[in-house]
Amino acid sequence: MMNVAATWQDEGPRHRQLKTGNAAAVGLERQRAQFAWDASRLVLTILAITLPSHLGYGPRIAILSYGVAMTLMYAIHWLLSHCAIKHRVDEADRAALSSAATA
């Protein structure tokens, strides 16, 4: 019989590695951007589910609109993360160049 507790315990470090989306924003000091994205995602989720219902569409359209909304939001999240990381890399490169020039 498999030891479930040991399996869950072994997954801990991997789970922390997979949870990089929010951690990246916090680690890059972009908490405001992360909060704005989270709030926008919440509003868009509510609208994507309720708007088709109020317009008389069925559940398939609501699920489709939710899928499109989440695809859009995660594309925006990827773009925000990419720009934040690029900004940090550029800052580090500039700092390395300025310290090399003064040395």
For 64-100, write each residue's pLDDT tens digit: 999 999 999 999 999 988 888 888 888 888 888 888 7
The burial class, CB within 10 Å (0-12 / 13-18 / 19+), for 77 is buried
Rg (CA), the chain: 21
Cβ-based neighbours of 68, under 8 Å, separated by 6 or more: 48
CB 33 within 8 A of CB 25: yes
Residues 6+ away with beta carbon under 8 Å from 21: 77, 81
Q: Is the pLDDT at 38 greater than 90, yes or no?
A: yes
Residue 103: per-residue pLDDT: 67
Domain ranges of the chain: 28-102
Could you give the percent of the chain with pLDDT greater than 70? 72
pLDDT at 84: 85
Instruction: Give the chain's largest Cα–Cα span.
Output: 69
Q: Which two tokens stand for residue 47?
A: 């609208």
Mean of per-residue pLDDT scores for the chain: 80
